[in-house]
Amino acid sequence: MPPLQYGEAKNANDASADDGFCSIIRKLPPTPAGTVRLFDRGEFFSAFGPDAYYVATHHYKTQTVIKKLGKISTSNPDGLPAVTLSHAVAQSFLRDALTTKQLRIELYESEGGKNSSKWRLGKSASPGNLGSVEELLFAHTDMLAAPVILALKLSVKEGVKTVGVAFADTSRQDMGVSEFVDNDLFSNTEALLIQLGVKEVLLTADEKNADYDLRKIRTLVERCNIVITDRKRSEFTAKDVEQDLNRLLRGDLQASTRPEFDLKSAMAATSALISYLGLMSDDSNFAAYSLVPHDLKQYMKLDASALRALNLMPDPTGMGGGGSKNMSVFGLLNRCKTSQGTRMLAQWLKQPLVNLHAIQQRQDLVECLYEDSELRDELTTSYLSKMPDFHRISKRFQKGVANLEDVVRVYQALLLLPGLITILENGGQANDKWPELIEETYLVKLREYSSALQPMREMVEETIDLDELDRHNFVIKPEFDETLGQLKERLEGVRDQLDDEHRTVAGDLDMETDNKVLHFEQHSLYGYCFRLTRKEGSAIKGKKAYIELKNTSQGVYFTTKALKALTDEYKDVTKEYERKQASLVKEVVGIAASYCPVLETLNNVLAHADVIASLATSALNAPIAYIKPTVTESGEGSLHLSEARHPCLEVMEGVNFIANDVKLERDVSEFQIITGPNMGGKSTFIRSAGVIALLAQIGAFVPCTTATVPIFDSILCRVGAGDSQLKGVSTFMAEMLETAAILKGATRNSLVIIDELGRGTSTYDGFGLAWAISEHLATETRASVLFASHFHELTALAQEIPHVQNLHVVAHVDSKPDSLTGKEITLLYKVEPGVCDQSFGIHVAELASFPTEVVKLAKRKADDLEDFSENPDAANTTATTLSPAAIAEGTALVEQFLNAWASVAPSSSVPAPAPTEGEDVEMANGEGEGDAEVERDYAALVKCFAEYKDRFEETEWTKKVLEQTY
């Protein structure tokens, strides 16, 4: 980390200046929520107040960097907290704040110099609107995530909710629109946000919080960890959008003739988007944007829960193991060599295909590079790794901020195209269909682009001095322009005269020109001048021909009238040369800008090849190589995975992953309930299936030995509570919101993954909900479902519905007398057909080193509440013959009975004597006293049972339980 600049800053400002600055800071309006404010102080940046603490805590990771400014007074009792950041540190902090932390930033600038008392907001940016700081933050760093911003307009007519959206990626100058009907939970809106990777959403301001539907959308957007920006309702009108689009869009087609213009809600959202981004105020945006419609149905639908449950993307908060890149599917697969490839891979993961032909085409390309190692290595090492981000450079061309270095970077990349075409023409010969596929996907386009860009190559060779590149000088050839050539000759003539003057002075002083005693150098203040060592400085004394400039510890600086005149002439000619070159550079950049459309399409082809190579490389480098899955049409075939593995978990150090088969057979076992011990592998099993299904639909290879995957129209998940409580949403409410979205959005061709539903409420309510939801999905929706549950009673559903199958994770149990539970559990992580007949929660607690007293108490209470049959089938007989309502009524009565007994049992009211120090816990209650206590408890139980016996006989479930007991 670069050193702090505080010491330098403090020296430059005295205490009175600090007091004045503190006064200025306090008079500014408060920093808005979710915003960090920095001040550009020239040589460094500063943050003050709460912003200083945020920078210190989240970036420097220490508060020792905080200084207190100003004199201590009534108005300033503790001083103003301040942190300073060098330019490099500020750029790093701002990049992280905008692209990872999802914060807004404000940069204040002085209106009149370093010590001015007037400060104004110079630049502001948000996660989806980086335009004003893009050059500051990404001039020398690739942008790895697209800053997509979306405006949303909701219209409700006769109860029908129509959502119109407009979205843009300003870094690529792409714009899109979509309009669709949505349900009460706005499931389609959520899927769209995930597909596009939206960073910021513009919504209509609702100061009174009176719009119920808008409030639901706001909650949904927040749940997706997306920044919300409120805009005035008047901005969401399509009044001027036609003329704005006519100026912004490429091509001659009028906006009103485009089919997208008929999407009225989407056009209203487009107007708000254009206004917020300020696109009309920048001439470089005119005729630069594309407009495309976005069809939700062209991709698999994913919800925010699926994104988290399947660990598709790195955790932006850094929580949940986000530190290792292999903890996310994106991090694991990302072997891309270019930033555009990295962005496209993220896009593919959020937009799995539903078109079988497109999926198979990607698969065949991955297979080609998977098998042809020579082509793969040469493509990635010799070509893709040397390709710049043409989108970023094109935008610099269009904005007029590019320089000759940008032009040369493009030129050097264009020189690689013929070789790239050659290796692709010679590759993939092992399979007859691969050359044709490579030709269609890459070669046709690359030849076209190479030919179209040939004039640009020639232009660069004619105008830029390529011989100077080795010295990192980017200059125009002097012979390219007659005036520039004349100025170059004048400069060289002045340099020759300077050398002559050096030799003349050396001869007069009887010294050599080897710069050992008489130094000839260019000074920042005096220009060209001479310097003698202090020892030889007396050589010029008394000589009128020499003009002494400065006497320092480094020596005596002096000049001559002739040298002074030559220095002035050299400066004048140099300025004239630079002005002329700058005008020529502007012309060259302008010509280069005309090739932007071709460069951007070339960029897409290279990004596609990069992602394909990345998928092939990651498939080969896995602990066990991935295989090419067989993908079938939606609604046809079943999900069959042999020895399926979770791609992220199998690469973790110290993990010996146990593979499992997955067989979701349509109409036979399409709904599977998985039970078993905690930590036994239920969650991993169901998530592995979800990840593999998604990988298959992006065209990737999958971690199995064989795989057949039908095309799913959506993957919907209910797994874990995440950080809902941090947002004021209870665990149970989060469960219900996500489950409601599944019930509304799931179809016959969806894959639904549910893990431990019902944990957020009481056992009886949780079981009732789990049963009802499962029954609805299994009978009404008929989706493919993997349901991991701790409710063993739920397995009774298989007796009522033919296509419900029970699976369980296997645990091996041995007798262990010295264990508090009397058993030793070994988790085998294998999934097999059938029902797990008991829970191993107490055994797992013992493995986790729970306190002995806690484990003993849990065992005693478990023995009180459960009596598992030796025959697992018999234990489930009662549950399989009664309705969920009858079971719930019976279990509630039993709970009431146990509470009544506990209230009168002596052991519940008389605490056991505490063990003395060093005394064994089991010896704390003497054997005699323990026996007496059991007798008293038993007597209380008999009495309580007699009081409840009639009610047990009248309740269907408890009656059957008693019949099996007698």
Burial 490-526 (b: 16+ CB within 10 A, else e): bbeebeebbeebbeebbeebebeeeeebbbbeeeeeb
Of 312-316, 635-639, 871-875, the poorest mean pLDDT is in 871-875
Q: DSSP assignment of 275-329, as one string? A: HHHTGGG-GGGTTTBEEEE--GGGB-EE-HHHHHHTT-S--TTS-SSTTSGGGSH
The answer to whether residues 811 and 663 belong to one domain is: yes
Specify the pLDDT at position 235.
95
Sheet holding 198-204, edge to edge: 227-231, 198-204, 148-157, 160-169, 174-182, 290-293
Of 122-136, 494-508, 644-658, 935-949, the poorest mean pLDDT is in 935-949
Q: Classify 765 as helix, strand or coil.
A: helix
The answer to whether residues 684 and 818 belong to one domain is: yes
- The mean of the pLDDT values for the chain is 85
Residue 720 is assigned to a structural domain of this protein: yes
The answer to whether residues 834 and 712 belong to one domain is: yes
Specify the pLDDT at position 917.
40
Of 560-569, 600-609, 916-925, the poorest mean pLDDT is in 916-925
The answer to whether residues 188 and 223 belong to one domain is: yes
Residue 471 is assigned to a structural domain of this protein: no
Specify the pLDDT at position 861.
58
Average pLDDT over residues 724-736: 59
The answer to whether residues 291 and 418 belong to one domain is: no
- Which are the contacts of 765, defined by CB distance < 8 A and separation ≥ 6? 758
Q: What is the distance between the alpha carbons of residues 301 and 299, in angstroms, rounded to a whole number? A: 6
Say whether pLDDT at 6 is over 50.
Answer: no
The answer to whether residues 110 and 222 belong to one domain is: no
Residue 395 is assigned to a structural domain of this protein: yes
Average pLDDT over residues 351-368: 97
The answer to whether residues 349 and 287 belong to one domain is: no
Residue 327 is assigned to a structural domain of this protein: no
Tell me which residue has tokens 């944990």.
759
The answer to whether residues 351 and 294 belong to one domain is: no
Say whether pLDDT at 530 is over 70.
Answer: yes
Q: What is the distance between the alpha carbons of residues 542 and 539, in angstroms, rounded to a whole number? A: 9
Of 179-188, 667-676, 737-746, the poorest mean pLDDT is in 737-746
Which of 813, 839, 865 is the endpoint of a domain?
Answer: 839
The answer to whether residues 489 and 579 belong to one domain is: yes
| Reported confidence tier of residue 255, pLDDT bands at 50, 70, 90 | confident
Of 64-78, 719-733, 882-896, 951-965, the poorest mean pLDDT is in 719-733
Residue 699 is assigned to a structural domain of this protein: yes
Rg (CA), the chain: 37
Q: What is the distance between the alpha carbons of residues 841 and 864, in angstroms, rounded to a whole number? A: 15
Average pLDDT over residues 408-435: 95
The answer to whether residues 576 and 603 belong to one domain is: no
Highest averaged pLDDT of the listed ranges 139-153, 317-331, 459-473: 459-473
Say whether pLDDT at 686 is over 90.
Answer: yes
Residue-wise pLDDT for 334-349, tens only, equals: 999 999 999 999 999 9
| Reported confidence tier of residue 14, pLDDT bands at 50, 70, 90 | very low
Residue 324 is assigned to a structural domain of this protein: no
Q: Which of 876 and 252 is assigned the larger pLDDT?
A: 252
- CATH code: domain of residue 651: 3.40.50.300
The answer to whether residues 231 and 366 belong to one domain is: no
Average pLDDT over residues 167-188: 92
Q: In the 8-state DSSP scheme, what is residue 670?
A: S
Residue-wise pLDDT for 641-668, tens only, equals: 999 999 999 998 877 888 999 999 999 9
Average pLDDT over residues 896-921: 55
CB-CB contact of 48 with 17 (8 Å): no
Average pLDDT over residues 291-295: 93
The answer to whether residues 444 and 408 belong to one domain is: yes
Average pLDDT over residues 133-155: 85
| Reported confidence tier of residue 947, pLDDT bands at 50, 70, 90 | confident
Residue 313 is assigned to a structural domain of this protein: no
What's the total number of domains in the chain? 6
Which of 839, 869, 901 is the endpoint of a domain?
Answer: 839
Q: What percent of the chain has pLDDT over 90?
A: 56
- CATH code: domain of residue 560: 1.10.1420.10
Pairing of strands 784-788, 671-675: parallel
Specify the pLDDT at position 197.
92
SS3 content of the chain, % helix, strand, coil (to 5): 50, 20, 30
Average pLDDT over residues 825-830: 75
Domain that holds residue 713: 640-839
Average pLDDT over residues 539-558: 90
- CATH code: domain of residue 119: 3.40.1170.10
Residue 318 is assigned to a structural domain of this protein: no
- CATH code: domain of residue 235: 3.30.420.110
Say whether pLDDT at 99 is over 50.
Answer: yes
| Reported confidence tier of residue 741, pLDDT bands at 50, 70, 90 | confident
Q: Classify 705 as helix, strand or coil.
A: coil
Q: Which of 731, 755, 767, 733 is nearest to 678 (CA)?
A: 755
Q: Which of 661, 627, 625 is nearest to 644 (CA)?
A: 661
Say whether pLDDT at 872 is over 70.
Answer: no
Of 244-253, 417-426, 869-878, the poorest mean pLDDT is in 869-878
Say whether pLDDT at 190 is over 80.
Answer: yes
